[in-house]
Structure 1
Amino acid sequence: MDARVKELVNFTKEKIGLEHYQLHTVNIYREKNILNGTDYMLSMEWYPNNISEHTDEDCNPVGTAVIDLDINSRRFRRIIFVGGTSLAVGLKFNTNDINEIIHWIEKETGLLYGKQFRIRKQEELNIYFEECFNGIPISPSGSIHFEFDENGRLTLFSVNGSFHSKEMFKEELFSLSLKDLEQTARNQVKLLEFPSSKKEKCIPMYGLEEIYVKNDKTGTIPFEPDVRPYIKIDKVLYWDASISGPFKRREINISETITIEQAFSREPHPDTFPITKLDQDKSIEAVVNFLRKQYPDDSGKWKLTYFFRDNRYINAELKPLQHDLRVYQRKLMVLIDTNTLEAANYIDNQSFLDMFDQYTASENITISKETAFEKIRTKIELKPVYVYDFEQKKYVLCGKLDCEYGVLANNGDVIKLQDF
């Protein structure tokens, strides 16, 4: 074992209190973070000493400690005891003292409670924390999950996403009001058809599409559940002739073997490399050639929205120019080999959408958008949120416009979306 790895293994054993454990496996993996940096992790599996023989290769024995350690920061990303059973010496907490747990998290992460993280939800043996800045939530947000058993022993500690320093935030006083944003809220009310599996029919409903409004009123940031660096394209694709023969999918390999030298030299993840103008031009050509084979009659029907890197492939997202009112829309994702800059595989959600073809058509719409807005006007919420702005490369203060209620377009009933 490399001396540097061995030192980290010994550090982990002493820090977690793994006196009654033996190291079973160790490997290194890497992740790209939202700031386009690379994090290297030392992943370890520790078996309890009383496990002399284990034949099930697909499942770790109860009591196994699975631990991921950030090689650079020496902070634990994950501590998981399989089956909720821990034999670790220490890591025991007073279940009635939340402050003891918070203090331990502060010490292990270097974060300050109330300033950089706060409680999002608390259950009997589980506590969920979310990232914040001076108590204000963040999007996209890092999160922490802490779980313990009835005796107070830590059974799970997981840090997901990135937590950012003060320098990443453009600090401001929140100054937006619902009165100022009434027209924006009106514009965000959309009519969509929601499939109901219980009734096997499509139900038309008005709802407010979430959006972030910048605190300085210079613009908006769309609500995106999955945020990553991307290159916006917005190009309608045309071609004159098809290419004979079906498109042949290639096997997608997302696994990689990381060497010790790569980890300790902090070699950048391939997904952090920019998508150059030449890459874009070649990728557009690859997407068009894919469509000419797989969807030869669709010239002018697809818009290439953006490119982004993921799992060492360039991903191209396409959306149809024409779409209906259904909440789930058609989408294509074409995976482009970065070595050949040719399409290697694709994902089409049409098979998912086909499930709703047997549903009864939407009922007649009797309520106007304006009427729907008036029905939910008092239920619209505006909350301060720091949102990452890829142009400024900082988190900027925004107001999140949202509403938990919708209006049935066939009869005007106001319903809670969660219940629906």
Structure 2
Amino acid sequence: MNEKLEEIIEYTKVKFNLDNYYLKRHHIFREKSSLHRTSYLLSMEWFPNETDYTDSDYNPSGTAVIDIDIHTNSVKRAIFAQDVSYASQAEFLEPTDDNEKIIEWVEEMTGLEFGRQFLLSYEAEGAVSFQAAVDNITVYPVGTIEVEFNENGQLTLFSIDGVFPHEDQIKWEPFSLTPDKVEPFAQAQSRLLEVPLEEEEKWFPVYAISTAFITNNDKRIISFEEVEKQKSFVKKDVVLEWEHPVDEAFIPAETDLSTEVSIEEAMADTDHPDKLPLTEADQEEAVAETRSFLQRVFPEDSGKWSLKELRYENGYVYAELQPVLRDNRVIVRKLQVILDADTYKALNYIDTIELLNMFQHFERADEPTTKQGQAFDKLRDLLEVTPVYVYDKDQGSYILCGKIDCAHGVDAVTGEVILLDEL
């Protein structure tokens, strides 16, 4: 075995007190963050020594699955199956402890500083979550830390995902978004939605305000989706039309979406193969091939599909399509056309039609009797505007924004204010 891997395996055994475990198998994976930073992870499956292992498809209770960054030795994930741990000296919390001990442990595990780089975002019995922040102001794209422990106080889950920026990546400025400046943007984010109610098997009409960000300096809207997308994401809005179908069968090709790599690739520590950025020429080729794909697979659908985005993912280019004409339902049909990243030839596609068919028998939504303006008047005082830092792809730094959010909605039939989480 590679010497570096042997070092990490021994480090993991000591760090997590795995004296009662043996390493069953390991793999190496490549990950890419939302800001296109590449990591190579050694993923290890540690089995308890005393276990009756008969089913190769399932890990036995107490199995520890631990992912370590090969080049930094930082822990990305540690999961103990079925909330059972056989680690020696595995006591994590006493019943009388508060979050202070967890925070100290997370700081030691990650090298991050509480308050300056992460904040408490959620806590429940046996679980604590943190979110990336700079000087107590949260940042987006979201960075998260999850910690869970069982009834015996033993660690059963640790994970860290996303980016946790430093102060030198922040563009400092005073927050100046007063309610009168925010309200027109919030009203523009208000819309009628139809939400599926599974118990009633019916679509429910509700007015809600979509989460979005307003830049502090030039007062422009950035959608939540755009912020959380990968750096290679390009927003589009192109209606795809043609005069004649293409008389050529589309034969799907196999695509390898695995992120597993060889030890040689990991040791080379090369950047992720997803290219940056998608140039204008790249985009033109992708649009042309996506149109050709539709001409072959959906020949009668000229003018019915709009190309909404292009992005690199796992070595391929994805073209996402949505219907030009769509209703208010929160679940919309999508096509994801997978293109070769070098030739832009369409290889395969993903269609969400089967997901939509699950709701085919649902009763249609009642006609609204409340107008959009009336609904917004009821939500105006419930609107929340929070200062946050949002990564700006063009500037390569985090800029101050106001996050527009509202936990409530308005029943479009009765006009009643409701909590959206209760739907």
Identity %: 40
Q: Please tell me the residue identity of whatever aligns with 1:382.
A: V
Counterpart Cα distance in 2 of 1:251 and 1:285: 21
Partner of 1:108: 109
Q: Please tell me the residue identity of whatever aligns with 1:87.
A: Y
Runs of at least 4 residues off by over 6 Å: none
Q: Please tell me the residue identity of whatever aligns with 1:92.
A: E
Structure 1 segment 290-309 matched on structure 2, within 5 A: 290-309=293-312
Q: Deviations over 1:316-361 (max 9, x none)?
A: 0112222222232232211112254211111222333344444444
Counterpart Cα distance in 1 of 2:27 and 2:204: 50
Residue pair 2:118, 2:132 contacting (<8 A) in 1 also? yes
Counterpart Cα distance in 2 of 1:250 and 1:164: 40
Per the TM alignment, residue 307 of structure 1 is displaced from its structure 2 partner at its CA by 0.9
Q: Please tell me the residue identity of whatever aligns with 1:148.
A: F
Partner of 1:6: 6
TM-score normalised according to structure 2 size: 0.92
1:228 aligns with 2:230: yes
**Counterpart among 412, 417, 420 of residue 414 in structure 1:** 417
Per the TM alignment, residue 396 of structure 1 is displaced from its structure 2 partner at its CA by 1.7
Residue pair 1:335, 1:346 contacting (<8 A) in 2 also? yes
Residue pair 1:32, 1:271 contacting (<8 A) in 2 also? no
Counterpart Cα distance in 2 of 1:20 and 1:364: 62
Partner of 2:262: 259
Q: Please tell me the residue identity of whatever aligns with 1:412.
A: G
SS in 1 for 2:274: helix
Structure 1 segment 63-212 matched on structure 2, within 5 A: 63-95=62-94, 96-97=96-97, 98-212=99-213
**Counterpart among 248, 252, 277 of residue 274 in structure 1:** 277
Per the TM alignment, residue 257 of structure 1 is displaced from its structure 2 partner at its CA by 4.2
Q: Please tell me the residue identity of whatever aligns with 2:60.
A: P
Counterpart Cα distance in 2 of 1:196 and 1:155: 34
Q: Deviations over 1:12-31 (max 9, x none)?
A: 22222222322221221110
Counterpart Cα distance in 2 of 1:198 and 1:373: 28
Counterpart Cα distance in 1 of 2:313 and 2:410: 38
1:37 aligns with 2:37: yes
Residue pair 1:126, 1:148 contacting (<8 A) in 2 also? yes
Per the TM alignment, residue 403 of structure 1 is displaced from its structure 2 partner at its CA by 1.4
Per the TM alignment, residue 54 of structure 1 is displaced from its structure 2 partner at its CA by 2.5
Q: Deviations over 1:268-306 (max 9, x none)?
A: 111244334443233222211110011112222222122
1:375 aligns with 2:374: no
Per the TM alignment, residue 246 of structure 1 is displaced from its structure 2 partner at its CA by 4.5
**Counterpart among 236, 249, 253 of residue 252 in structure 2:** 249
Q: Deviations over 1:118-166 (max 9, x none)?
A: 2222122111222122112222211111122333222221112222222
Per the TM alignment, residue 245 of structure 1 is displaced from its structure 2 partner at its CA by 5.0
Structure 1 segment 17-28 matched on structure 2, within 5 A: 17-28=17-28
Residue pair 2:240, 2:303 contacting (<8 A) in 1 also? yes
Per the TM alignment, residue 234 of structure 1 is displaced from its structure 2 partner at its CA by 2.5
Residue pair 1:196, 1:203 contacting (<8 A) in 2 also? yes
SS in 1 for 2:186: helix
Residue pair 2:31, 2:259 contacting (<8 A) in 1 also? no
Per the TM alignment, residue 48 of structure 1 is displaced from its structure 2 partner at its CA by 2.5
**Aligned in 2, Cα 1:21/1:330: closer, same or farther, shift over 3 Å?**
closer
Residue pair 1:193, 1:205 contacting (<8 A) in 2 also? yes
Counterpart Cα distance in 2 of 1:154 and 1:376: 42
Counterpart Cα distance in 1 of 2:420 and 2:5: 50
Q: How many residues align?
A: 419
Q: Please tell me the residue identity of whatever aligns with 1:157.
A: F
Partner of 2:335: 332
SS in 1 for 2:325: coil
Q: Please tell me the residue identity of whatever aligns with 1:391.
A: D
In structure 1, stretches of 5+ residues that fail to align are none
Which sits farther off after the overlay, 327-336 or 190-199? Answer: 190-199
Residue pair 2:259, 2:314 contacting (<8 A) in 1 also? no
Counterpart Cα distance in 1 of 2:237 and 2:26: 44
Superposition RMSD on alpha carbons, in Å? Answer: 2.1
Residue pair 1:142, 1:159 contacting (<8 A) in 2 also? yes
Q: Please tell me the residue identity of whatever aligns with 1:237.
A: L
Q: Please tell me the residue identity of whatever aligns with 2:286.
A: S
Per the TM alignment, residue 308 of structure 1 is displaced from its structure 2 partner at its CA by 0.4
Counterpart Cα distance in 2 of 1:192 and 1:354: 19
Which sits farther off after the overlay, 381-390 or 287-296? Answer: 381-390
**Aligned in 2, Cα 1:393/1:372: closer, same or farther, shift over 3 Å?**
same
Counterpart Cα distance in 1 of 2:155 and 2:363: 50
Q: Please tell me the residue identity of whatever aligns with 1:209.
A: S
Counterpart Cα distance in 2 of 1:320 and 1:17: 53
Counterpart Cα distance in 2 of 1:368 and 1:85: 53
Which sits farther off after the overlay, 245-254 or 283-292? Answer: 245-254
Counterpart Cα distance in 2 of 1:140 and 1:372: 30
Q: Please tell me the residue identity of whatever aligns with 1:227.
A: K
**Aligned in 2, Cα 1:152/1:220: closer, same or farther, shift over 3 Å?**
same
Residue pair 1:214, 1:398 contacting (<8 A) in 2 also? yes
**Aligned in 2, Cα 1:241/1:400: closer, same or farther, shift over 3 Å?**
same
**Aligned in 2, Cα 1:180/1:110: closer, same or farther, shift over 3 Å?**
same
**Aligned in 2, Cα 1:66/1:356: closer, same or farther, shift over 3 Å?**
closer
